[in-house]
A and B are shown apart, each in its own frame.
Chain A
Amino acid sequence: MAQIISIHSFRGGTGKSNTTANVATYLATKGHRVGVIDTDIQSPGIHVLFALDPSEVDRALNDFLWGRCSIEDAAYDVTSRLGGPVDGQVFLIPSSLRTGEITRVLRDGYDVSLLHDGLQALVRELRLDFLLVDTHPGLNEETLLSIAISDALVIIMRPDQQDYQGTGVTVEVARSLDVPQILLVVNKTPDSFDHWDVEQRVAQTYNCEVAAVLPHSDDLMTLASAGIMLMRFPKSSLARLYRQLGDRLCEGL
């Protein structure tokens, strides 16, 4: 039975796409077939981490939503672009990078129920073990749908006052939707913080499990944006924490 995992954050810039790409890669290294769908139609970006050039993208999630193709036709096998050999496979369903397509979504919207059908079809057609949904930040109809149909929800937050309130709302909404597994990840945590203390306080505040406290590092962030961190620097503390998060998600299988 495939697991649908939504990676969500209340605010942009929390490191959602990086976390998604690294966890997907880790799951593939464990031999799983993993799908990654970029539902952030308004500001797509995860394709960069998988080294997918926009010129290569002739079909995208947008095309499925407008009825131009089936969803599996918009899936790209990016396994060879992960930066090293893996036993499993990673398929990326990008959102369109064409400005016109993005504008159309913003103007006309789309039938959210189609997204539900698409996700189900994707799991089925690509025989996925995991489908990771990289969502648009905040809470709107499509993110609520992603959360609703997820088996696990990973909420990424930063140790920043601007994130505390929204994260609280997201956790509570996810509980209302009976999402079986809700995990919090604290990202970009300054070194001055005691990470163990952060984990305890966040868990206590939201009454929710904290799967990882990821450190902030300008160097690592610069390197990370150029590829899959986990493959390029497998011995780094950040890679270790991504693996820890992946393992925790596998336990839900």
Chain B
Amino acid sequence: MSAELIETAAQVRAAVQRLHDRAREAGAESTADDLGKMLRAADNLRGLLDQLPERTVQAMALQDSRKLRHDLRTPVNQILGYGELLLEEAEDESEPRWVSELDAIHSDTRALLKLVDRVGIDNDAPVAATIRRSSAPERAAVGKVLGTILVVDDNRANRELLERRLARDGYAAITADNGVEALRVVRSQRIDVVLLDIMMPVMDGYETLERLKSDPELRHLPVIMLTSLDEPDSITRCIQQGAEDHLPKPFDPVLLRARIGSSLEKKKIRDLEREYLVRIVAEKRRADDLLHGVIPIGVALTAERDFNRLLERVLREARRFCGADGGGLFLRKDDDLEHVQLQCDSVELRPGDATEGRGDKATLVLRVPEHGRLRPAAKAALGGAMVNLGDVYEAEDLDLSAVKAFDSWHGYRTQSLVALPLRGAEGEVIGVLELWNATRATDDAVVPFNDGMLEVLESLSRLAGAALECYRRETVLRRRIRHLEIRVDEANRRREVSQITETDYFRNLRDMAQKLRASAKSGADG
């Protein structure tokens, strides 16, 4: 076995040396460089093989035997990997050179790998590679990066080989030479798949995998373990620890692409799932906001007995939900909109303050003027729909005279503005809630009213409309109660009276009463 191994290794090295020399002579520098790397790998192998007799004896324990095969396999895999790359590149060229030589080297190196896989295993047939080398690989579309792959291997040549292979297949590759470095990389940038070697210094593949899978932020990242064909226990262990897949060395290009593609696909699905989960969580938060924030306010509004306080509170709560700097409340009265509330933190408005354009006494007539442009509140009331403006000054189809007069008067700048109709029990518009200059909580910057704010505002405006309607109805009812309504059926009354007065008993009674009174009167007069 050892003799055959040494002989085959020498044969491969000689073939690589010959081709290297020819490439140099032909001025094919790039090919010569790769052949140089293959030559260095062959030299490493020779150095290891020189120690083979002693190490084979020592490798009685299973672990030692595996370590020995791992050490021998590493240079063989490098020769195979560079050889395959060169072969593929040669086949891509218009005038392929040295294809038959590279094919022969590839074939001999495969045979060499089989011999390496049998070192230290008595009477055991090596696990043979079953995957045939691919034909020309599919090239990725130019300029399109299919994903970012992190290659973690302590062997520089392996890293370089995989980096080139991945780049060729259209992936962006990042490398790390141990587990610690790999964890730093995955925490600092977006990685789609990790190719992880097992035997490494500092932190080996098992521990790295364990740490990745125990981190809630990283556990969804697919990890493909780089394994040897004779390590079924390791594969099982890695899969149990959560590895997505494994890739046997030497890397078969087809298998590499297939497993990375599969992992990327799974990651896409997982990313989608996580994205949906984030959206569900956000939706739940919004629902909670409604349940725990808006609804209690709605209940409190309904219980408010002081009308002015009710109006003030509707506006204040609406502003609080979206950080609006200012706002106004209009109530519909026949064909007018009466401005009943005005608040603005920046200009420190108080109820009753005279304010140009948006003053408390200002009334909007609800009809389209000759110039055709409506104020935002009037448009919301007449259209029965929300008016949302990112920058009110850009709304050319609206009458902004009041907004501009207010801004000019106070040295203010109204930007974002939303006007929401308030509806009564029958769905009729009973008022308008107008808010302006929503602010971002983090830096108080003025921002447009976003979907989240609008959703909450719409809920709040419905509750506010109900509270106002409730108050109005109660007021009418109270007014009605205060005025007693007495209904007497006159015809019935007359009939009932006559049934009593037209009896003999009653007539006698009346006579007697008259006599009594006459007698009493005469007694008193006398």
Residue positions of A touching B, CB distance < 8 A: 1, 116, 139, 141, 144-145, 148-149, 159, 161, 164-165, 168-169, 172-173, 176-178, 180, 190, 192-194, 197-198, 201-202, 205
Contact across chains for A169 and B482 when beta carbons are under 8 A apart: no
Contact across chains for A176 and B497 when beta carbons are under 8 A apart: yes
**The 4 nearest A-B residue pairs measured at CB:** A148-B513, A172-B497, A205-B486, A148-B509
Known contacts A161-B487, A201-B484, A169 near B497 by CB under 8 Å: yes
Contact across chains for B483 and A194 when beta carbons are under 8 A apart: yes
**Distance in angstroms between the alpha carbons of A144 and B517 in the assembled complex:** 16
Task: Please name 5 pairs of A and B residues whose Cβ atoms are closer than 8 Å in the assembled complex, sorted by A.
Answer: A1-B524, A149-B513, A159-B484, A178-B517, A193-B484
Of residues B478, B486, B496, B510, which shows the largest number of chain A Cβ atoms within 10 Å of its Cβ?
Answer: B486
Choice from B496, B510, B520 contacting A178 with Cβ under 8 Å: B510
Interface size of B as a range: 20 to 34
- Chain A residues whose CB sits within 8 angstroms of the CB of B481 once the complex forms: 190, 192-193
- Chain A residues whose CB sits within 8 angstroms of the CB of B516 once the complex forms: 149
Contact across chains for A141 and B505 when beta carbons are under 8 A apart: yes
**Distance in angstroms between the alpha carbons of A26 and B329 in the assembled complex:** 58
- Chain B residues whose CB sits within 8 angstroms of the CB of A177 once the complex forms: 509-510, 513
SS class of chain A's interface: helix, strand, loop or mixed? Answer: helix
Contact across chains for A197 and B483 when beta carbons are under 8 A apart: yes
Closest to B490 in A: A168
Q: How far is the CB of A10 from chain B (nearest CB, A)?
A: 11
Seed contacts A161-B487, A176-B506; 15 additional CB < 8 Å A-B pairs: A1-B523, A145-B509, A148-B509, A148-B510, A148-B513, A164-B486, A164-B487, A169-B493, A169-B500, A172-B493, A173-B500, A176-B497, A178-B510, A178-B517, A198-B484
Q: Is B489 an interface residue (CB 8 A)?
A: yes
Closest to A205 in B: B486
| B:486-504 near A, CB below 8 Å | 486-489, 492-493, 496-497, 500-501
Q: Is B512 an interface residue (CB 8 A)?
A: yes
| B:191-247 near A, CB below 8 Å | none
Q: How far is the CB of B178 from chain A (nearest CB, A)?
A: 84
Q: How far is the CB of B517 from chain A (nearest CB, A)?
A: 7
Contact across chains for B492 and A165 when beta carbons are under 8 A apart: yes
Contact across chains for A148 and B512 when beta carbons are under 8 A apart: yes
**Distance in angstroms between the alpha carbons of A178 and B486 in the assembled complex:** 25
Contact across chains for A192 and B478 when beta carbons are under 8 A apart: yes
- Chain A residues whose CB sits within 8 angstroms of the CB of B501 once the complex forms: 173, 176
Known contacts A139-B500, A141-B505, A169-B493, A201 near B512 by CB under 8 Å: no
**Distance in angstroms between the alpha carbons of A141 and B501 in the assembled complex:** 12
Choice from A1, A165, A202 contacting B489 with Cβ under 8 Å: A165
**Distance in angstroms between the alpha carbons of A173 and B496 in the assembled complex:** 10
**Distance in angstroms between the alpha carbons of A168 and B490 in the assembled complex:** 9
